[in-house]
Amino acid sequence: MSFSKVSFLIFILFLLLCKPTFSDLLLTSKDLPEIPINFLNFAKQTEVFDWMVGIRRQIHENPELGYEEFETSKLIREELDKMGIPYRYPVAVTGVLGYIGSGKPPFVAIRADMDALSLQEMVEWDHKSKNPGKMHACGHDTHTAMLLGAARILQEHRDLVKGTVVLVFQPAEEGGGGAKKMVEAGALENVEAIFGIHSTTFLPVGEVASRSGPFLAGSGSFEAVISGKGGHAAIPQHSVDPILSASNVIMSLQHLVSREADPLDSQVLTVAKFQGGGAFNVIPDSVTIGGTFRAFSKESLMKLKQRIEEVIVGQAAVQRCNATVTFESKDRPFFPPTVNEGGLHKLFQRVAGDMLGTAGVNDMQPLMGSEDFSFYQEIIPGYFFFLGMKDETLEQPVMPHSPYFRIDEGGLPYGAALHASLAVRYLSESQTAARTYNGYHHDEL
């Protein structure tokens, strides 16, 4: 046996005796824990902060619905041009993909959604929506501003980018499944992992919250037309009443979760739409009902879908009516559950802890809300978390999707710095892991 092979075996024996963890092998640079604070300080500089606030307010004043984000996309591209960041456009109609770094592996993505909601803004301030019936009431304007902020941080610190960061500016998260279309358009080509932020009014500025594993529910929607025979309300025996039938359908649907689902497998089924009739003395020919159903596994979601159709059709028949049920459509795709990968959760805790301290990093219970970020997680490991942007001037936080939605723009530097820090740390640790693997690998062993 040669001296070199003896030396190599002694080295392997040393590693086994010391039992280093994977995390120990990755965290080899003393500079890594300092990066989040340095990035945050950069983002808090007056010039950078005011720039992000200006972008956020410009987008807020000009909200655009899903796949209509042409002006928002134009603004993003103008800012990327100013920073000298190459990009690909259009992607999924209005989406933009920016690229920072070497253009070579490893690749990591950070994502923001751009679309607004069909709401009339009721908040009176200088930057109120100028587009009637449209409003950024879910924080997507902050997401876009923070991702541009992260782009500026990364471009100014390109020497720390050990690979390639992909900036994903995505359309149509609010029901349109923009993430699915981005995936189909090749947004994740070569990408190993992806991170996403959602601002929240329920956490103070400087705090974050997330969890490993199932985080947000998968969701679907349904619509059913229940048809009977219309007639005069005074002589119901000559009619087949679809309103009565729909009422029985709704009551039966409520039993699916309470009596058929495992109590430890959280599910929700809500009928939120009931349309039928236009006069107090006329039985209509048909009634339309609709709603949403949610679960934390795709299997449970599909089982619930099957039973919803069976119950609607069956109960309608009991009342002598016919029913047709529709589910997924082009504008209403199913959203898979949002499931955070365990290794990325550990990385997030380290990075967020370095920036915010352990007190600012919160574990939270899963939520029944849904997010199309889950389409990315079906393809590659992904991690999604909430960023505190609570407006402390309000007595009570305002729920998202409210015409009174307000956030504290002081959270913008935190989101930008976290995006950039997660990307840099992921790439650095991926490179370290690759070098570690290559250094230990030996064909003769």
With a cut of 80, say whether residue 445 has pLDDT above it.
no
- 124-154: per-residue pLDDT in tens? 999 999 999 999 999 999 999 999 999 999 9
Largest CA-CA distance found in the chain, in angstroms, rounded: 102
Strand partners, 110: 167, 195
Element (H, E) at 428: helix 412-440
Pairing mode, strands 286-295 and 267-275: antiparallel
Structure tokens at 348: 């997030």
- Asked whether residue 138 is marked as a ligand-binding residue, the answer is yes
Rounded (10°) angle between helices 35-44 and 342-356: 60
Going by the DSSP 8-state scheme, the letter that residue 117 receives in this structure is B
pLDDT at 5: 53
pLDDT at 3: 45
**pLDDT tier, 316 (very low <50, low <70, confident <90, very high otherwise):** very high
With a cut of 60, say whether residue 171 has pLDDT above it.
yes
- Asked whether residue 321 is marked as a ligand-binding residue, the answer is no
Does residue 197 contact residue 167 with C-beta atoms inside 8 Å?
no
Rounded Cα–Cα distance for residues 283 and 270 (Å):
25
Does residue 338 contact residue 373 with C-beta atoms inside 8 Å?
yes
At 270, phi and psi to the nearest 5? -130, 125
- Asked whether residue 232 is marked as a ligand-binding residue, the answer is no
Rounded Cα–Cα distance for residues 141 and 63 (Å):
8
pLDDT over 70 percentage in the chain:
90
Does residue 386 contact residue 200 with C-beta atoms inside 8 Å?
yes
At 83, phi and psi to the nearest 5? -85, -5
Closest by alpha carbon to 400, among 195, 221, 211, 173? 173
Structure tokens at 228: 């009977």
Does residue 35 contact residue 418 with C-beta atoms inside 8 Å?
no
- 251-288: per-residue pLDDT in tens? 999 999 999 999 999 999 999 999 999 999 999 999 99
* SS3 call for 135: strand
pLDDT at 122: 98
Closest by alpha carbon to 57, among 10, 108, 126? 126
Stretch 105-120: mean pLDDT: 98
- Asked whether residue 238 is marked as a ligand-binding residue, the answer is no
Domains of the chain: 29-216+337-436 (3.40.630.10), 218-326 (3.30.70.360)
**pLDDT tier, 432 (very low <50, low <70, confident <90, very high otherwise):** confident
What residue ranges in 201-330 does DSSP mark as E strands?
Answer: 208-210, 213-216, 218-227, 231-232, 267-275, 282-283, 286-295, 322-326
> CA dist 207 to 202, 210, 321, 355, 356, Å?
10, 11, 53, 10, 7
Rounded Cα–Cα distance for residues 6 and 13 (Å):
11
Residues with Cβ within 8 Å of 178's Cβ and at least 6 positions away in sequence, in order, are: 66, 67, 92, 95, 113, 115, 170, 171, 172, 372
pLDDT over 90 percentage in the chain:
87
Strand partners, 383: 195
- 15-41: per-residue pLDDT in tens? 444 444 433 444 444 567 899 999 999
pLDDT at 32: 78
Amino acid type, 213: G
Q: What count of Cα atoms within 13 Å lies in the side-chain half-sphere of residue 355? A: 32
Q: Which range, of 10-19, 327-336, 378-387, averages the lowest pLDDT?
A: 10-19
CA–centroid distance for 415 within its chain: 14
Rounded Cα–Cα distance for residues 421 and 354 (Å):
10
With a cut of 70, say whether residue 338 has pLDDT above it.
yes
* SS3 call for 214: strand
Pairing mode, strands 213-216 and 338-340: antiparallel
Tell whether omega for the bond before 336 is within 30 degrees of 0, i.e. cis: no
pLDDT at 441: 39
pLDDT at 373: 98
**Whole-number CA gyration radius for the chain:** 26
CA–centroid distance for 66 within its chain: 15
pLDDT at 30: 57
